[in-house]
Amino acid sequence: MLKNKVIEKTEKKAKDSRVDALVKTGIQFGHKKSRWHPSMAPYVYGIRNNMYIIDIEKMEKCLIEAIKFVEDVTKQGKSIIFVATRPNIRAFLKEIAEAHKLFYVSGRWIGGTLTNFPTSRQRLNNFKELEAKKKSSEFDKLIKRDKRVIDEEIARLEKHWGGIKNLTEMPAAIFLLDVPNNYLALKEAKKKGIKVIAICDTDADIREVDYPIPASDDSFLAVKYILEKIVETISKAQEKTA
């Protein structure tokens, strides 16, 4: 009995410490009452200072479910595209995705990326061909104008397609770091039967999100915390299957 009480006390202390750490990221702060979507109601803990407060315990449960799905997908050798268009997180997504060789879109989502994938793949192939051409000895023989045209085209393709240029098949899932700015990506994924994981603030319509993670998408620290957990899961799963 005493041993059980000690275990319970230790677990409670660990939980309280974890919750305190999450609170410091601002992960619980939703939007004002004037900005919300009814689909997020199950994940709202209450209202404070006219602002919705997200239930941290439910957030953790949702994150665990998303992590399990990501782990399964990775073990199957399938890919996930991470999508972020908000200025406060785009640079970090690019940094962490490139460090771990993950697919990502950190700018505007190009319509048809998934729903017209054969065309997207042709663009990606063209991108890689241009990069190869620039590295070849033939590039040095071109006149300045032709070199400039190639450089400008590579820069344009890099901006829109750089994070997925090595994608050769449809992904198993997309991970939206915020929903309202990426409904087009969400709709395309659903049309193609691709699972959607997403960080969902209180203004998000999550009716078509398969794995919602209720959390502030305005807080860099909150998004960083979740993204690092997901990337850590992918890395560990890859190590197990290597």
Residue with tokens 């479910």: 65
3-class secondary-structure state, position 154: helix
Residue 225 in contact with residue 27, Cβ under 8 Å?
A: yes
Pick the CATH number of 2-114+170-241 from 3.40.50.10490, 3.40.50.720, 3.40.1190.10, 3.40.50.1820: 3.40.50.10490
pLDDT tens by residue, 63-96:
999 999 999 999 999 999 999 988 889 999 999 9
Distance of alpha carbon 190 from alpha carbon 174, whole angstroms: 10
Sequence-distant (≥ 6) Cβ neighbours of residue 155 within 8 angstroms: none
Which tens digit of pLDDT belongs to each residue from 188-207? Answer: 999 999 999 999 999 999 99
- The pTM for the full model equals 0.89
Tens place of pLDDT per residue across the chain (242 aa): 544 443 344 445 445 567 778 888 889 999 888 888 999 999 999 999 999 999 999 999 999 999 999 999 999 999 999 999 888 899 999 999 999 999 999 988 999 999 999 999 999 999 999 999 899 988 888 898 999 999 999 999 998 899 999 999 999 999 999 999 999 999 999 999 999 999 999 999 999 999 999 999 999 999 999 999 999 999 999 998 86
Q: Are 151 and 134 in contact (CB under 8 A)?
A: yes
Q: H or E element: which one contains 85?
A: none
**Integer Cα distance of 226 and 49 in angstroms:** 26
DSSP string covering 112-149: TTTTTHHHHHHHHHHHHHHHHHHHSHHHHTS-HHHHHH
